[in-house]
A = this chain, B = another copy of it.
């Protein structure tokens, strides 16, 4: 695997292989790389989780990380992303992790670039490392995908997590439902009410309301009441069902604040799992270099 760009390009075997390797890392396995690699993290959008998770994973598999301040680079002087990445390649980097505002920003990097590219989120496109950690979290819980029911709730049209997860989960045999306000469904076929959802879902996957991508004023209370996971709704979930959220969480909007760390919640576990998944992604890519 040279790059990780979109869940669409990963086979089920590749997905399972990353999940299994992540589990080995979580159980203490040592990375299988014969040298230290140089990587940089190019984040053109704010991030806490994904960026620090990659920074941690990179150090844990023995990479040397070259700092790159996206808000203070020569792209301010009009340099293209291609020229920026090519520059990093010539400086000696093995891989770059990129988050950018533009959907499929990586298209311009497919030719002429030898450094490996790991997509850490492209606009409203894909977020494959998040998707892989979601899959790992589900697999750790149920030890299978086939026959599970996952309901993705919220700002689906803007969510790269929804897209990435839906593609992969369906391919792995999961029954995926969507629940959201009618205006947020985008191209997805969604339900507009909770009717029947809590009774049949093994996973309730909440999405962050991306206030920064919406113009229209919005009532947090109303959203919480209609589409949020309230304390009452949590009680109606199936016995072994779990709650997921890619975070950051808008407390008392997508989910009642007191549920964020409840027994069913895997929200902080997802973050913990993410480090091992990213170690697996990096090792898979770097060991072929």
Which residues in A have some Cβ–Cβ distance to B below 8 Å?
38, 40, 43, 46-49, 51-53, 55-56, 59, 64-80, 83-84, 86-88, 90-92, 112, 208, 210-212, 247-251, 260-261, 268-269, 271-272, 274-275
Check if A83 sits within 8 Å of B52, measured CB to CB.
Answer: no
What 6 A-B pairs come out closest when comparing CB atoms? A79-B248, A90-B271, A48-B74, A90-B272, A74-B248, A48-B73
- Taken together as a complex, chains A and B put the C-alpha atoms of A67 and B69 apart, in Å, by 11
Check if B86 sits within 8 Å of A268, measured CB to CB.
Answer: yes
Q: How far is the CB of A258 from chain B (nearest CB, A)?
A: 12
Check if B268 sits within 8 Å of A87, measured CB to CB.
Answer: yes
Report the nearest B residue to A49, measured CB to CB: B87
Check if A248 sits within 8 Å of B77, measured CB to CB.
Answer: yes
* Residues in B whose Cβ lies below 8 Å from that of A64: 59
* Residues in B whose Cβ lies below 8 Å from that of A260: 83
* Residues in B whose Cβ lies below 8 Å from that of A70: 72
* Residues in B whose Cβ lies below 8 Å from that of A79: 48, 247-249
- Taken together as a complex, chains A and B put the C-alpha atoms of A274 and B92 apart, in Å, by 11
- Taken together as a complex, chains A and B put the C-alpha atoms of A51 and B40 apart, in Å, by 13
* Residues in B whose Cβ lies below 8 Å from that of A92: 56, 272, 275
Check if A68 sits within 8 Å of B52, measured CB to CB.
Answer: yes
Check if A87 sits within 8 Å of B47, measured CB to CB.
Answer: no
Check if B90 sits within 8 Å of A269, measured CB to CB.
Answer: yes
* Residues in B whose Cβ lies below 8 Å from that of A90: 268-269, 271-272
- Taken together as a complex, chains A and B put the C-alpha atoms of A79 and B53 apart, in Å, by 17
Of B47, B88, B112, B261, which is within 8 A of A52 by CB?
B88
* Residues in B whose Cβ lies below 8 Å from that of A91: 49, 52-53, 56, 271-272, 274-275
A-B residue pairs in contact (CB < 8 Å), sample of 18: A43-B72, A46-B73, A47-B74, A48-B79, A48-B84, A49-B91, A53-B91, A56-B92, A65-B67, A74-B247, A78-B250, A80-B251, A83-B251, A83-B260, A87-B247, A87-B268, A90-B268, A90-B269
Check if A48 sits within 8 Å of B75, measured CB to CB.
Answer: yes
* Residues in B whose Cβ lies below 8 Å from that of A71: 72
